[in-house]
Chain A
Amino acid sequence: MKKILMFAVLVLCFAGCSAPKCEVNTQPTPALYEATFVESSGTGEMMIKATGIGCSVEEALEEAKKTAVWFVLEGGDKPILKTQAEKTRAYGLEMQMYANPVKYIRWISDIKSKKKEGGKTKVTYLFKIDTAMIQQELAAAEIITSTEDLGESMGLPTVSVFADKGGDFAKTAVSALQEYFQDNSFEVYKAAQGDTVNKIVAKMAALEGAETDPMHDMALSLGTDVYAKVNYSGVNGTAGTKASVAVEVFETASGKMLATTTGFSDERRVSDANALVQEAVNDAGAKVVSQIRKEWMEMVKKGKPFKVAVLSNSADGAAVDEAVYGALKGLSSRPIKRQAGGKSTFTYIVYVKDMPNAYELFQAVKKAYSGPGQLEKVSDAGSFLVIKAAGNGEIELTIE
């Protein structure tokens, strides 16, 4: 009898001991790093497909939430915390975020996948993560700089957007892209209906002789730092229409291309393709905003570009040109590009560091100016400065 009992105990023990024991993740960090970017459905919101693993569905769901937050912070190709230094600084806050991921989750889908692997449960959900809140908290903790701070300290470029090709759908794309830039803290200058190119710009364009881009001229007239050209095209597929929106962004002063990209909508069946345009712009906007910021900030680091037009007369022109050129050279470490030079009128592209606008540039040039007569400002708009100077007589270009 005793032997039987011992045998039974052994069998029970064996059965109990042989059952795989599920180990709970006791670490604050996610147990699994499986996540995919799905879409950004708002300016401060991302939809992430994230997987979690745990001993139960509930536990795996909690892990999936942490994985989704991790993805926004560190995962994918555009994480918020990009450098190792930021990750190191963010460690404490990151752990707090993992401890309470629900705070950043606006929506959870139904379960998208459930599997058991190695005795553990893996579940996948879609999450909408409040990325704006995460960024704000990181900025408040001085781990990253907030968008507003960036704008205040360095100045985001002012932007104008023009429809190039694609008819009314391109106009829809322009509106959507303008909205997009505004959502991303850019200052957007919109050409009102009937707006024409500034006469100075037109005259300068005529003087430069080369065939100029009317959108570039309009951007100069509006005084924006950069301008975007939008092209729309739609393709009919077997089950619907696919919209594509191509966006090209140029630096206004120099005409240099800052960014170019094409956004696509999904192929959809819609009665009004404007919905597709909006979807395609969203796709393009994500890419183009990132490129503009990067290029613009690179440019600002080396010196913000200005287009400077100088008006004089044939008597003093050479001396004024020399004096202005000298003044500009003293302000810029980069070579000055002369665009048009005649006897009485000259244009330059100049890159000046820490110079927020054309008016301050005028003041700096005026201060350094040692040529004939006094420098006077004719106009300043964005990156475009027009000045005049003459020792004797009138300037020869008449601006009506």
Chain B
Amino acid sequence: MRKILIFILILLPVLQISAVEDTFLLKSDETQKTYERKAVMGFGDIGFMQDAVRVPMRYCEYNEKGEGRCIPWTFSVNYPLDTSEKLKAAKIFYQWTITNRFDKIILGNNVAFMRTKGGEVKIDLGGRIPAFRAGTSDRETFRRRLEHYLNSDVRKVFGNLLDASAEQRYSELSEKEQETFMVTKAKELGLSAAFVKNLLNSSYVFAAHVAPIGSAGRVVRTRHKSVTTGLYYSSFDIEIELSVDVVFMIYRYNYETKRFEHYGDIVGHSGGISGSTDTALQIIPTPKQVMAVFNDTFRTAIKAAALNANYQLKQDDNFAIFMPVKSSDGKKIESSFGVMEDIRVDHPFEILETVDGKTQRKGFARAREVSLNCKEGAVPTIIKVTNGDAEEGDQLREYPWTGLYFNFGLENSGVAISVLQKNSEEQRQYGEVGSFLIGPGFHLGTTVDLGYVLNRSALSEFYLSAFLDLNFTPGIAEWAPEGLYLTQSVYSWLGGGLGISKRFYVGSAGFFIAPAIDASYHGTLNDDWNFQHFIITPQIQLGFSATPSFDFIIKAGWNVGFLTKAEYEDSIDLINDYSGFVHGLYASLDFNFHLPIVSAMARMYTPSSNVCR
């Protein structure tokens, strides 16, 4: 019996050692997808369809009251796009599209570089590779020349560089064959082909071609009256408006075929960008000044188009940041991704989970403190949940965002302007009854997250707003010897201002409270009365951020300010008939809608941190 037992037991499986049969068993599935750095090559040049921009001009004349008109001019101004300007445009465009999250491939004269997260790999080309000249051509010609260049001159270099850099890039992968036999036992860490192929096939070329540039211009002649001398003089300004669409062509290197294959196109839109000499000069601006305006506007347009392309690139799962939630108390998540993945302050993320085979969104979170992850072991990025909750194993996906909103609000902006009650011509006192209000109205504007746009943690959740108000007053109070009365006319007020708020999220349901202050200037639009006042509005805002693309906010505050003008029929100054101090209750219901095209706001955006470079 013992022998039988021993025989049976002897057949028991003994310890067996074997290599990983399938390396992908070690990898996470799609529910735990993690961004892996892609290698990208850009060019020093971008393609254009034109060597100059012909801007049709209009001529406008305004008097000292701002009244005037514009007429189309019969001529256009031809703005040359010289080579240096095109190179600057390329630099701006690639700065905003080939960001820190990519390993950068640079072709030099005799060497090629790969700048990875933690180092640089260089290979000798053994000869000069001619640089790609983007030139001036239509898009399809540009594309043909690009593909020819990539698949003849570059592909071999590309393959060699990818080979040479594979080990460096492997060491920087977020998910490796950790704790496997090869890593812990073998004399040398060998790169698994599965991982290498993944690296080699995650290499791209980004190229850009600028579509025909939309343009319009104005020469503005404004008549002014000197405050000191009382004499009239004129100023001339040149205004340029451009809109640029950049076709962003993406090619992927296929390591097996050793060829570049077209991955896709993105069209980056700048929106309308305007610029002006705004010199208030008494002479006509010089051509140099005009060219400077054009160039500045053009660069801003390129930057705006690049920002839009960057936004669209993040819509592609292949280029967006994904990360699993490794540990979370439900409200705070730590991540090793940081500045080297172009994570910005207030960067929004979706919290995703897979339920019954479908990916579902369960909330949102935002980066608050961004890791300076130049090297391993850096302090992690702190991401806080604003909506919903997160648990270990959930997934964070970068939410494509520009930090810019279009704002629309319905408001009742109460501004009581007190009439001085006159008991006699000499004796005046403020009359309570004699106040009138600016009433209901609406405002339109833009709101921008300064933390995200300027990428400063000190400005996290600070929102800057610029707005235009239109309000209505059912009537204004007037004084007559018979006493005070209220006119029956409806007066409309137009104003504009700036506001700043700081949001504090309360819990994780998306609600926030924000102390805020606005400063605005308003004036009547009616012909007979001309009231103007300046107010500041301290307020408290209660809001709900449904998604990073949509908020609604209830605002309540108090307007305080002073009257700056009270005129009747353009000449009768009645400022002394009214109290200088104005005030009133302010309430508003606002809606914020995310804007993917940033237009002129592009000027505000600061590039991603280069602290690691």
Contacts and interface: CB of A to CB of B under 8 A. Distances in A.
Interface of A: 36-44, 47, 49, 56-57, 78-80, 82-83, 107, 109-118, 121, 123-124, 126, 128, 131-132, 135, 144-145, 147, 150, 153-154, 180, 183-184, 237-240, 242, 263-272, 274-276, 278-280, 282-283, 285-287, 289-290, 293-294, 297, 301
Minimum-distance CB pairs A-B, first 10: A114-B393, A267-B193, A268-B190, A286-B16, A270-B190, A78-B13, A145-B9, A286-B18, A40-B17, A239-B193
Contact of B29 (A47, A112, A180): A112
Contact of B392 (A111, A113, A289, A290): A111
A267 B26 CA distance: 15
A79 B13 contact: yes
Contact of A82 (B13, B392, B393): B13
Contact of B26 (A38, A79, A111, A275): A38
Contacts of A150: 6, 9-10
A150 B8 CA distance: 11
A282 B255 contact: no
A80 B179 contact: no
B10 A42 contact: no
A39 B31 contact: no
A184 B191 contact: no
Nearest to A273: B190
B326 interface: yes
How many of chain B's residues touch chain A, expressed as a range? 35 or more
B9 A144 contact: yes
A280 B31 CA distance: 32
12 contacts: A40-B17, A47-B180, A114-B32, A114-B393, A121-B393, A150-B9, A239-B200, A240-B190, A263-B18, A272-B187, A275-B189, A294-B11
A145 B186 contact: no
Contacts of B27: 112
B181 interface: yes
Given A40-B18, A42-B185, A278-B186, A82 B12 contact: yes
A107 B193 contact: no
Nearest to B393: A114
B570 interface: no
Given A270-B188, A279-B182, 15 more contacts: A36-B25, A39-B19, A41-B179, A43-B17, A82-B12, A154-B10, A184-B15, A239-B197, A239-B200, A268-B196, A269-B190, A275-B187, A278-B187, A286-B16, A297-B11
Contacts of B178: 109
B425 interface: no
Nearest to B359: A115
Nearest to B23: A266
A38 B23 CA distance: 8
Nearest to B199: A239
Interface of B: 5-21, 23, 25-29, 31-32, 166-167, 178-182, 184-194, 196-197, 200, 255-256, 324, 326, 353-357, 391-394
Contacts of A271: 188
Nearest to A41: B181
A145 B10 contact: yes
Contact of A293 (B10, B20, B357): B10
Contacts of B326: 110-111
Max chain A Cβ within 10 angstroms of own Cβ: one of B19, B26, B190: B19
A294 B10 CA distance: 8
A144 B11 CA distance: 10
A283 B184 CA distance: 16
Contact of A114 (B14, B186, B356, B394): B394
A145 B2 CA distance: 11
Contact of B12 (A49, A80, A115, A278): A80
Contacts of A280: 19
Contacts of B353: 114-116
Nearest to A145: B9
A283 B18 contact: yes
Contacts of B6: 145, 150, 153-154
Given A78-B13, A271-B188, A109 B7 contact: no
Contact of A184 (B14, B29, B180, B190): B14
* Residue from A39, A112, A242, A264 whose CB has the most chain B CB atoms within 10 Å: A39
A44 B15 contact: yes
B324 A111 contact: yes
A371 B464 CA distance: 114
A293 B11 contact: yes
A78 B192 contact: no
Contacts of B354: 114-116
B444 to A, nearest CB: 41
Nearest to B29: A113
A282 B17 contact: yes
Contacts of B394: 114
B12 A38 contact: no
Contacts of B5: 145
B355 A282 contact: no
B20 A297 contact: no
B431 to A, nearest CB: 50
A282 B32 contact: no
A112 B28 contact: yes
A118 to B, nearest CB: 7
A38 B184 CA distance: 15
Contacts of A43: 15, 17
Given A112-B28, A239-B200, A266 B187 contact: no
Contacts of A36: 25
Contacts of A147: 14
A159 B18 CA distance: 20
A240 B199 CA distance: 13
Given A111-B393, A275-B186, A42 B17 contact: yes
B397 to A, nearest CB: 14
B532 to A, nearest CB: 54
Given A116-B356, A150-B6, A275-B188, A238 B255 contact: yes
B194 to A, nearest CB: 7
Given A154-B6, A266-B192, A282-B18, A274 B12 contact: no
